[in-house]
Amino acid sequence: DVKVTQSSRYLVKRTGEKVFLECVQDMDHENMFWYRQDPGLGLRLIYFSYDVKMKEKGDIPEGYSVSREKKERFSLILESASTNQTSMYLCASSLVASNQPQHFGDGTRLSIL
Amino acid sequence: ILNVEQSPQSLHVQEGDSTNFTCSFPSSNFYALHWYRWETAKSPEALFVMTLNGDEKKKGRISATLNTKEGYSYLYIKGSQPEDSATYLCASVTGANNLFFGTGTRLTVIP
């Protein structure tokens, strides 16, 4: 079974802090994704990565950056956290082809005060 | 950004009832349609990935159909049980391999 592990279930940070959300997958998947989920909106893609050191912007990349130094690990970075980044963040991984399902972590509920 | 729409937004059914909901997506540049179930306090779980027009997939009491020409997919649940209570998400895949998610249908099955 694929396991996608996110480092924290709940996180509280202050405005202006640099925040790191970590995600690790154990199935050697090429693709990794970061989404955020807000009430009334679908999952929105922030960034994704097809391979080590590769990254592509999703629909809402502003205020975020990512890092993929190893295949199994994909980090989301909030450079200077703001209150409008309070949200549920989900990491996912998948094999390359579009007919392969994504496997999600349990999510991190991040609150920025 | 693709416009993927799901209806209804929420649904309450009695245990034992059968139900269905809809996912609409742009039919141009279609690659695949994903369905996920997302239970409270858990991670979204893949139900089906469908690629061919006319595709039908089944997993226990849950099944799905796909019409790529008109841009819709139906998810059916036969004999709903309380454990089926969850948010059901669909996502359409374009050539760039990105998933565009709908806002989901929140199903509550009343015992």
The pLDDT of residue B99: 85
pLDDT confidence bin for A2, thresholds 50/70/90 = low
Beta carbons of A96 and B91 less than 8 Å apart: no
The pLDDT of residue A96: 83
The pLDDT of residue B95: 67
Q: Please give, rounded to a whole number of angstroms, the shortest distance from the CA of B53 to a CA of chain A.
A: 14
> Residue B18: which region, alpha, beta or left (left: phi > 0; alpha: psi -120 to 50)?
beta
The pLDDT of residue B72: 95
pLDDT confidence bin for B27, thresholds 50/70/90 = confident
CB burial of B52-90 (b: ≥16 within 10 Å; e: otherwise) equals eeebebeeeebbbbbebeebbbebebeebeeebbbbbbb
**Facing residue for A42 by CB, picked from B51, B97, B101:** B101
CA–CA separation, A42 vs A86, rounded Å? 16
| Residue A53 CB-density burial (10 A; 0-12 exposed, 13-18 middle, 19+ buried) | exposed
pLDDT confidence bin for A9, thresholds 50/70/90 = very high
CA–CA separation, B29 vs B88, rounded Å? 23
**Facing residue for A101 by CB, picked from B46, B51, B104:** B46
Apex CA A71: angle with CA A65 and CA A72, to 5°? 90
Enter the tokens of residue B1: 């950004």
The pLDDT of residue B96: 61
Q: Of the candidates A85, A43, A41, A39, which has an alpha carbon nearest to the alpha carbon of residue A62?
A: A85
- Interface probe with B: pick from A5, A98, A103, most Cβ of B within 10 Å: A98
A34-91 confidence digits (pLDDT tens): 999 998 888 999 999 999 999 999 989 999 999 999 999 999 999 999 999 999 999 9
pLDDT confidence bin for A97, thresholds 50/70/90 = confident
The pLDDT of residue A99: 82
**How many of the other CB atoms lie within 10 Å of CB of B34?**
25
All residues of chain B having their beta carbon less than 8 Å from the beta carbon of residue A39 are none
The answer to whether residue B64 scores a pLDDT higher than 80 is yes
> Residue B27: which region, alpha, beta or left (left: phi > 0; alpha: psi -120 to 50)?
alpha
